[in-house]
Structure 1
Amino acid sequence: MSGEAVRYEASEAFARRMDAEDPLRHFRDEFHFPRHHGEPVIYLVGNSLGLQPRKAKPYVLEALEDWETHGVEGHFRGSHPWMPYHELLTEQTARLVGAHPLEVVVMNTLSVNLHLMLVSFYRPSGDRRKILIEAGAFPSDQYAVASQVRFHGYSPEEAVLQLSPRPGEETLRTEDILETIERHGKEIALVLLGNVNYLTGQAFDMAAITRAAHRQGCRVGFDLAHAAGNLQLSLHDDGPDFAVWCSYKYLNGGPGTLGGVFVHERHARDKTLPRFQGWWGHDKQTRFQMGPDFEPIPGAEGWQLSNPPILQMAALRASMEIFDRATMPALRRKSERLTGYLEFLLEQLPPGFVRITTPRDPQQRGAHLSLRFSKEPRKLLEKLTAQGVLCDFRSPDIIRAAPAPLYVSFLDVYRFAGVLERHARD
């Protein structure tokens, strides 16, 4: 599957040919699929919960067996001792998000990590006290931002600045984001955006936004819940101050599993940054001396609070090993073709049946398309589920379909479009 443009065809033969030429096709076999009448479902909800890697259970059982065999000594003995267990994920995570190992850590969950980062990087002072977010950001981000500005004694109405699309448009224009930063920069303490918006699927220009915000003296953070494992990221080079993400969507770590944190290396040894401190973030060489004074580990690890849950990390290891073998550049190339093929097939459906609200430019989207249907979308979703096609619904009227490239095939996309076509003609 080369990088050349593809002339798509609305035929099963074409879809099968694309799958046969796909160098990543064998990764599909490394996941468990739910079954429908004995056959794998068409799974287009990896943007909500990824599939289970086949190695997840053996890796979790390995940790359980070490616990059974060694008890507390499992921290230092066994297949993969628990004391340094989180470090098994560090280099893989750094490669996944385009960072240095010093800059990343796997810990906590996304909302917890977001609050920890806001403690350090939202430092309102004088007239510079606003947080810039996109209107309609995921509720967790809205709640976190609102609670943090209240904690500092401000009201969200005063201190939260929201970016909205132009009238009649559904996504934000990059030039409007940059213009807002230029116009309000001296009032903005922090720019915080979801790098892929959960509802529209729009991907933002992280590098341009970061440069514009830093020119104005603002700190910059990104919520990568829908970007990690989806987009090819370059966090170190793009330069935001921090980023946070979850690992249960595209990263297939399991329901409610641990998230990740990026803190740019320019902050790695800055002990003046306020932070909530925890034992696991203390210098590893002196941690067990149990002293009263906190000495942070340089880099992102210094924001850790507690020793991590090993069973969750074991499940995540199984998926991260797959990502490391597949590589994000190769996955991104396949993703653009899969999503492009879905877009092409949707355009063949009867006029007026469906409208794509996600940007058409591949550089402004990831692996999911947000779709608005003229017929009742909730009932349509129920019909799709009954036929072995899993998508999800978001209010008020959007069905999201995400052909995650690790395990979704071109044939899956073709069959999904075929199911839609039958319903369009009902």
Structure 2
Amino acid sequence: MDPVDTGTTAFMLCCIIGLTLMIPGLALFYGGMVSVKSSTNMMMMTFGAVAIVGVLWVLFGFSMVFGTTYGGFVGSFTEFDGMKDLLQSQTTVSGLPVSLFALFQALFAAITVALISGAAADRMKFAAWMVFATVWAVLVYFPVAHWVFAFDGVVTENSVGGWIANKLHAVDFAGGTAVHINAGAAALAVAIVLGKSAMFGQLRKPHNVPLTLLGAGLLWAGWYAFNGGSALAAGNSASIVMVTTFVATCAATLAWLAVEKFKDGHVTGVGAASGAVTGLVAITPACGAVTPLGAIAVGAIAGAICIYAVGLKEKFGYDDSLDVVGVHLVGGVIGTLLIGFFASDGMPSAVSGVFYGGGFDQLWRQAVAAGAVLVYSVVVSFAIAFAIKKTMGIRISAEEEEKGIDSLAHRDAAYELEYA
């Protein structure tokens, strides 16, 4: 393996700090959008998911993702379990200490699981959420991340990785499939199993828009680490990726607000936050494949489509409370597929799409990857949520929902609503 590169190591240390800031960023983004009676619970779902995934990652999660493959589906459960032998061997990944590489990937896993919680706002038992997060990480995230992120020889010279990365050769620079399509599909399954909240179909106003905007801003800042850090080096590739991430997010925000103005006659703070996150989602798989102009196109298309996609829940009757499906699933699919059109071989991913002379070869690969992750995640996520519903129960009662989940599950509610 390569010797430790101190410059790369310093860069990735900074990226890990940025990724960690996404934890309170997501908590604030979601926490501001829910009822005043469930804000603490919403934020606790993020922190709870991160905590459980972090422990699972060291025990066997890293091994399941980056261990030698079983048929391209999942890595060895025991090859790197506990990570002790691997860390003591001073193994490196692209000049990066494997311990730092593992931590970077652990945060990807933790944030992905936490994203799903937006579909369960106001009505899911906290204990049921923690069980779901545990089982979903093991049965869904770890295998899918192996498909997408485990390239042959990434940790050890002889290790064989997942099928999307090494057989299909679909491009996913930082997790459009493994993170966003995966989490969005799971959110759809959870929303269906949970059923509609008492407020479904009514106007549900966010209790604190500034919190949501602050959360979106922290997510935007952390996303540079999310995407740029996936280059695993402080060089030109990371720089390009950060530029495309920035401009795609700007374009998506403008597109969302423009459509919002056209549809509703006004623009909103939640719309700005949602548009920004949509752009970040869509550019995640494409950030190393498209030019800055291509990134503007990806962001604008995603922003204009996803604002309509969030309305699908009313049409089809699933209560995706915080629009995880409309933003992450739909935005992830859009970003993944648009690589097949806008990819330029002059960018770090070195593939060409339809508009750059590459024909449809890359497009079908992107479509297969997106479809496979979507179907697998929906089916297994539904099975997990349904099993929890039939055993320990998944949803709080109607009376508890009316009173507010903060007062039931947590002693420290977000706000003191009663006065002496």
TM-score by length of 2: 0.27
Which of the pair is proportionally richer in helix? Answer: 2
Which of the pair is proportionally richer in strand? Answer: 1
TM-score by length of 1: 0.27
Higher Cα Rg, which structure: 1
